[in-house]
């Protein structure tokens, strides 16, 4: 389809597609669109062009208009109302003693609905809470339970690398991450070292996984022609400086980090290390 623009409603949020409707759009422009939740304020994430889209949820809706100064002012007022709604909901939860953690409150742009995002250990009966909130706000109320990865995405934070969380800054979707990816990269399988603030495996384990898989495939192919040592974390080896244990394997540089006796660590080339007999 032609003239399809991508629109994002939050930073690092999923991109949804709308008919550009002949509008001249620039990257980052504010636009008003109609969604299943109601009228929303979004930002242009991809310029109008040819996009293949399956119309499973009906025809692609058009962008209503480019955002005006009045729209921007309403967006700011909505943010102020969200802060107030969050405090009110928090007090209601404490009063009703519901075992849930409130994360964020979000108004639709036209204020036809308020969405309260929360986490909980299991299923929660919040029917009484919805009744009390509806009596206060006189609009549609939605309580949406999210998982721990979504919690980290919504709250943001600092990762072990010292930078803001990837999921909150640029990752629009959560791709599957497996423990095999950590093994491919020769990382320690200590959960505290390969888990993010959400408690799940680090999303960044995917970033270089393809390169490591390709390198490992080359090693396996080469080992059939000329057998090589298959170094792994925890293996006991002999070096020119004495016996030690491998704590890290760099498949790309063909080096291993070895912890020698006396807690000293040193990096060796593969050819300078032998398996301890």
Render pLDDT for 34-78 as a digit per residue (tens, 0 to 9). 988 889 999 999 888 777 766 656 678 999 999 999 999 999 999
Based on the fold, state whether residues 32 and 78 are members of the same structural domain: no
| Domain end residue (candidates: 67, 85, 107) | 67
Residues 92 and 53 in one domain: no
Rounded to two decimals, what is the model's pTM?
A: 0.72
What is d(CA 90, CA 103) in angstroms, rounded to the nearest whole number?
Answer: 10
- Give the per-residue pLDDT at 215: 66
Write down the pLDDT at residue 201.
Answer: 93
- Does 21 share its domain with 41? yes
Do 101 and 116 reside in the same domain of the chain? yes
Specify the CATH number for the domain of residue 131.
3.30.300.20
- State residue 221's pLDDT score: 57
Q: Could you give the CA distance from residue 30 to residue 36 in angstroms, rounded to a whole number?
A: 19
pLDDT at 1: 60
Same domain membership, residue 118 and residue 78: yes
Please name the residue that has the structure tokens 């929303």.
40
Q: Is 223 contained in some domain? A: no
**Which residues of the chain are modeled with pLDDT < 50?**
225-227
The residue among 146, 161, 185 that closes a domain is 146
pLDDT tens for each residue of 140-167: 999 999 999 999 998 888 998 899 999 9
Please check whether residue 41 is in contact with residue 67, taking contact to mean a CB–CB distance below 8 angstroms: yes
Residue by residue, what is the 3-state secondary structure of 75-103?
HHHHHHHHHHHHHHHHHHHHHHCCCCEEE
Residue 161 lies in a domain: no
The residue out of 25, 47, 67 marking a domain boundary is 67
Long-range contacts of 230-233 (CB under 8 A, 24+ apart): 231/186, 231/256, 231/270, 231/273, 232/186, 233/186, 233/187, 233/188, 233/189
Same domain, 117 and 136: yes
Assess if residue 77 is contained within a domain.
yes
Q: Please, are residues 15 and 24 in contact by the beta-carbon 8 Å criterion? A: no
Cβ(149)–Cβ(198) under 8 Å?
yes
- Please indicate, yes or no, whether residues 93 and 142 belong to a single structural domain of this protein: yes
Residues 6+ apart with CB under 8 A from 7: 15, 16, 17, 18, 31, 33, 42, 43, 44, 45, 63
Whole-number pLDDT of residue 226 = 43
Q: Please indicate, yes or no, if residue 172 is contained in any of the structural domains.
A: no
Judgement on whether residues 61 and 105 belong to the same structural domain of the protein: no
| Domain count along the chain | 3
The pLDDT score that the predictor gives to residue 56 is 59
How far is residue 42 from each of residues 8, 18, 98, 135, 144, measured CA to CA in Å?
6, 11, 33, 29, 21
Establish if 44 belongs to a structural domain.
yes
Q: Are residues 61 and 93 in the same domain?
A: no
> Pick from 36, 44, 34, 63: which is nearest to 6 by CA?
44
Q: Is residue 221 part of a domain?
A: no
Q: Which domain holds residue 79?
A: 73-146
């Amino acid at each position: 389809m032609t003239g399809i623009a991508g629109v994002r409603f939050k930073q690092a949020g999923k991109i949804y597609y709308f008919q550009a409707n002949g509008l001249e759009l620039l990257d980052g422009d504010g636009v008003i669109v109609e969604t299943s939740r109601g009228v929303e304020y979004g930002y242009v994430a991809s310029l109008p062009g040819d996009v293949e889209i399956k119309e499973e949820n009906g025809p692609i809706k058009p962008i209503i208009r480019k955002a005006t100064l009045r729209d921007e002012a309403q967006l700011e007022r909505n943010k102020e109302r969200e802060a107030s709604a969050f405090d009110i909901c928090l007090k209601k939860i404490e009063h009703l003693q519901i075992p849930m953690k409130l994360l964020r409150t979000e108004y639709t742009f036209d204020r036809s609905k308020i969405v309260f995002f929360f986490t909980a250990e299991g299923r929660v009966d919040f029917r009484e809470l919805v009744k009390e909130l509806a009596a206060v706000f006189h609009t549609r109320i939605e309580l949406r339970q999210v998982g721990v990865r979504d919690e980290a995405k919504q709250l943001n934070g600092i990762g072990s690398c010292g930078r803001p969380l990837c999921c909150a800054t640029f990752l629009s979707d959560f791709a599957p991450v497996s423990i095999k990816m950590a093994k491919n990269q020769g990382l320690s399988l200590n959960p505290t070292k390969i888990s993010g603030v959400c408690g799940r495996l680090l999303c960044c384990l995917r970033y270089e996984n393809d390169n490591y898989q390709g390198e490992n495939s080359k090693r396996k192919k080469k080992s059939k022609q000329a057998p090589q040592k298959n170094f792994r974390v925890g293996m006991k080896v002999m070096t020119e400086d004495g016996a030690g244990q491998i704590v890290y394997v760099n498949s790309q540089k063909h080096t291993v980090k070895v912890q020698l006796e006396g807690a000293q660590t040193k990096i060796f080339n593969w050819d300078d290390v032998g398996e301890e007999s």
